[in-house]
Amino acid sequence: MPELGPRDHEDASQRAEFQLFLRQRGIRSNNVLRALETVPRTMFVPDEMAPHAYADRALPIACGQTISQPFLVAYMTEQLELNDTHKVLEVGTGTGYQTAVLARIGRRIYTIDRYRTLVSAAEARLQSLRITNVTAMPGDGAQGWPAQAPFDRIMVTAAADQIPKPLIDQLAEGGIMIIPVGTGDQRLMKVVKGEDGKLTEKSLMAVRFVPLVAGRAASL
C-alpha cells in the first residue's frame, strides 16, 4: 500500500485493491464488502500506523489493545450474518473500526469497552463519519448490556476463557454470537441460539486476540 498522511481517506486504487484482497480471501457478502469499502480504516489507527492500516495484521492501539487485521474484521462480520433489522451488541469497542463496519449494516449497535478513553475516541470518530446508530459506554463487556437485551447479534473482539453466561442470556432466540474462546490456543466460535434456547457451537478458525478482562478499567 502507498504511504498515507494521517487520517487521509483512501483513494480509489487503494479501495479497489482492498476489495480485491477480501474477495480473494473468500469474502462474498456484498453488504460486508460495501461496509468495509465505506469505512476509512486509516481514521481508526494511530497516526504513525497509518501507512500500515491495510496490512493484514493486527496493529497496536492505545491502552495496550489492538485493532484486528482487516480480513478478520470482514470474516467475523460475514459470519455474523447481519442485516438491517438486527440489534447488535459489540464487546470491545477499541478504536471503533469494527463498530463502524457493523453500523453500516445493522439497525442499532450497542458497543462497550472497559477503557473510557477508547470509548470517547471511538465516539468522536463515528461522529465525524456521521454514523448515528451507535450507542457506546465504558463498562464490563463480560456482563454485556442487560438494559438493552436481548440482542439479535453479539460480536466479541477479545478472547474469553469460556463463553460468558451473561452474553448467552442476552442473545435472542435465533440469534448469533461470534466470539474468540481460549487462553493459549484460541478458537473463533460461532454460537447460534435456537428458538428453543438450545445453543449450537461451531469452531471457525484459530485466532489470537487480547484477553477479555472482567471489570471496568479504573483510570483509563
Query: The sheet that has 186-193: what strands, in order across it?
Result: 134-138, 108-113, 87-91, 151-156, 171-181, 186-193, 199-207
Residues forming beta bridges with residue 66, ordered by sequence position = 60
Residue-wise burial string across 116-154, b where 16 or more C-beta atoms lie within 10 A, e elsewhere:
bebbebbbebbeebebeebebebbbbbbbbeeebbbbbb
Percent over 70 (pLDDT), the chain: 93
What is the rounded distance in angstroms from the CA atom of residue 147 to the CA atom of residue 69?
A: 31
Average pLDDT over residues 189-217: 92
pLDDT single digits (tens) 2-45: 333 333 444 566 777 888 999 999 999 999 999 998 898 989 99
Q: Would the pTM of this model clear 0.85, i.e. be above it?
A: yes
The top-level CATH class assigned to 12-207 is alpha beta
Of 92, 98, 61, 93, give the one whose Cα is nearest residue 76.
Answer: 98
Instruction: Give Cβ neighbours of residue 29 (< 8 Å, ≥ 6 apart).
Output: 77, 78
Q: How far is CA 169 from CA 18, 110, 166, 177, in A?
A: 37, 16, 5, 11
Q: Is the pLDDT of residue 197 over 60?
A: yes
pLDDT single digits (tens) 66-119: 999 999 999 999 999 999 999 999 999 999 999 999 999 999 999 999 999 999
Which cell numbers hold the place of 159? 478472547
Which of these, 113, 114, 104, lies nearest to 77 by C-alpha position? 104
Residue tagged active-site, from 13, 29, 68, 219 = 68
Distance in angstroms (rounded) separating the CA atoms of residues 179 and 155: 6
The grid coordinates of residue 136 equal 457506546
User: CA end-to-end span of the chain, whole Å?
Assistant: 33
pLDDT on residue 12: 61
The overall average pLDDT reported for the chain is: 91
**Domain residue spans in the chain?**
12-207
Position 204 scores a pLDDT of 98
Residues 106 and 129: beta-carbon distance below 8 Å: no
For the chain, the helix, strand and coil percentages under 3-state DSSP, each to the nearest 5: 35, 25, 40
More confident residue, 60 or 83: 83
Closest to 176 in 3D by CA, of 102, 93, 71, 95? 102
Residue 128 falls in the annotated catalytic set: no
